[in-house]
Amino acid sequence: MGRKEARKRGGQHEHYIFRREQILAGDVNDFLRCWDPERSSARQLRQAFGCLSLELEDVTHCGDAFTVPEARRLVRQLWGAFPWLGFYLAQDKPFGSAVTLGRFPFLAIGLCLTDAVLVVRDQTGRCEIVVDQHQLGVVKVQYLSGLQLIARRSGLPAGVLAIRSAEIARQIDLVLDGEE
């Protein structure tokens, strides 16, 4: 079972930790039981908006989550079963290392969902990661679609949703526009 810390549901933040065993097994069932939007009223959905941060136990010791195959597999499992991360995810809490791309949680999760290639240049000692731009663009659209699905049920004001949509786009566009 995953660990939950810093509960929200009443106005605070909730932090969900996927345990190592869950990561290796690609098991998202405990998370889905905790965060099933079908079991939530409009009021509960409004309270859960932007309150969730995710952690993959021990993955930050290995680098960004999108560089760890087991982490990528778990995020793909989660995304397939729970396309509403754009609604629930806290935009200011890292997904992975807070000093690398993990500081942009929408982007960090999106990178787990796209093909990526590490290019190492021995002559200059520089490394770069090249991601599939089309796939990342599709993830951006899926984030925004998932946000809108839950947002309608939650009754959140359009202005709040517009701000969230802009933040999702800003984070994803860091790579799509080549800024990061």
Contacts of residue 101, defined as CB under 8 A and 6 or more positions apart, other chains included, come to: 64, 66, 107, 108, 111, 180
Please check the confidence at residue 109 and state whether its pLDDT lies above 60. yes
- What residue spans of the chain are helical by DSSP H? 20-25, 29-34, 42-48, 69-81, 85-88, 105-112, 133-154, 158-176
Q: Has residue 3 got a pLDDT over 70?
A: no
Band the pLDDT of 118: cuts 50, 70, 90: confident
Confidence (pLDDT) at 50? 95
pLDDT confidence of residue 19: 96
Q: Read off the pLDDT of each residue in 109-120 and give the average, rounded to a whole number.
A: 93
Least confidently predicted of 10-14, 26-30, 147-151 = 10-14
Q: What is the pLDDT of residue 10?
A: 46
| β pairing state of 116-121 and 126-131 | antiparallel
Q: How confident is the model at residue 4 (pLDDT cuts 50, 70, 90)?
A: low
pLDDT in tens, 50-97: 999 999 999 877 778 998 999 999 999 999 999 999 999 999 999 988
* pLDDT value of residue 23: 96
Q: What does the pLDDT read at residue 173?
A: 96
Tell me how many domains the chain contains: 1
Decide: pTM greater than 0.95. no
Q: Which residues contact 135 (CB under 8 A, 6 or more apart)?
A: 113, 114, 115
**Owning domain of residue 149:** 3-176
pLDDT band at 145 (very low <50, low <70, confident <90, very high): very high
pLDDT at 140 over 90: yes
Whole-number pLDDT of residue 159 = 95
